[in-house]
Amino acid sequence: MEVIKQVSTIREKMQSLRCSGKRIGFVPTMGALHEGHLQLLRASSRENDVTVCSIFVNPTQFNNPEDYKLYPRTSEQDIALLQSVNCDYLFLPDAQEVYTQQTLLQFSFGALEAVMEGEHRPGHFNGVATIVSKLFHYITPHRAYFGQKDLQQVAIVRQLVQALSFDLELVCYPTVREESGLAMSSRNERLNPEQREVAANLYKALQMAASMLPEKPIQSIKQEVADYLQSINQIELEYFEIADPATLQPVKDVKQDQEMALCIAAQVGPVRLIDNILVNLNKE
């Protein structure tokens, strides 16, 4: 695996690969890699001639400076994992390489960024859109791979790809979970064993909500989820929403044969975690 730190070098290398007819798969990450990332990398390796992973903890998508400072950085371990799944290139720039000058460009995603993560993390998706646009321009992939855990981010990137006519296919893979049900996340590295066990209740709350969907009104379900999590020490619920999976706008009434996204965010000890599941209420 070749490690590249300069934008000019990755551009030149990717242009050469494209000109030679190679299909490029790309997995953008912020490092602290886990099985969820490895699933995407294996998929890319199967479906493309060349796989590129980027590791960059993007400062512009953090609205909490302390969160950025404490975000886990495990480069040596990450490189070993990338080699184990036959990744071809690692793009590992620093912030000065990516942001050579202050970024003034502002993205707007309308109603999509006015709910959930957009509502609770002002400026977050502008930072996401900025770095994703830069990476797509540098690497010019044929396919880009994301995980369902960041469902709203995937929707934002999909809108970005359509709006700016990026010539690539966006591929989304299901969330990978620990044995307890906890969604795998780089942020889990900051949880101690007790907090990890507590955090599994977020998935349990999603499952509980899904089981109630056919019988109870949405407001009752939301209240029961809030009451359940409030009863557990070290969990502070930020939001729980039942939304349309395409637009992520809140769903007001449950209808049969309707797909819904159940989305949650909560503080567990010192760490903010998100999770979601998709539910399809079939007529049968």
Which structure tokens are listed for 63?
A: 């609205």
The residue range of the domain holding 61 is: 2-173
User: Regarding predicted confidence, which is higher, 47 or 214?
Assistant: 47
Is 143 labeled as ligand-binding?
no
- The share of the chain scoring above pLDDT 70, in percent, equals 99
Which structure tokens are listed for 215?
A: 């019988």
Q: Is 179 part of a structural domain of the chain?
A: no
Q: How many domains does the chain have?
A: 2
Is 21 labeled as ligand-binding?
no
Report how far residue 172's alpha carbon sits from residue 276's, in angstroms, rounded to the nearest whole number.
Answer: 14
Is 150 labeled as ligand-binding?
yes
Is 283 labeled as ligand-binding?
no
pLDDT tens-digit readout, 42-100: 999 999 999 999 999 999 999 889 999 999 999 999 999 999 999 999 999 999 999 99
Which structure tokens are listed for 249?
A: 């706008």
Q: Is 137 a catalytic residue?
A: no
Determine the distance from the C-alpha atom of residue 163 to the mean position of all C-alpha atoms in its chain, rounded to a whole number.
20
Comparing 10-14, 22-26, 174-178, 215-219, which segment has the lowest mean pLDDT?
A: 215-219
**Given 116, 147, 173, which residue is the final one in a domain?**
173
Is 265 labeled as ligand-binding?
no
Task: Report the amino acid identity of residue 132.
Answer: V
For residue 227, pLDDT beyond 50: yes
> Choosing from 37, 120, 124, 142, which is the catalytic residue?
37
274 and 245 in a common domain: yes
Confidence of residue 284 (pLDDT cuts 50, 70, 90): very low
Q: In whole numbers, what is the pLDDT of the chain averaged over residues?
A: 95
Which residues, in sequence order, are bridge partners of residue 277?
262
Check which CATH number belongs to the domain holding 274 and give it: 3.30.1300.10
Report how far residue 38's alpha carbon sits from residue 108's, in angstroms, rounded to the nearest whole number.
Answer: 31
Look at the pTM and tell me if it is higher than 0.85: yes
Task: Report the amino acid identity of residue 251.
Answer: V
What's the pLDDT score for residue 23? 98
168 and 58 in a common domain: yes
Is 153 labeled as ligand-binding?
yes
What beta strand segments (E) does the chain contain?
2-4, 24-29, 50-55, 89-91, 143-147, 169-173, 235-243, 258-268, 271-281
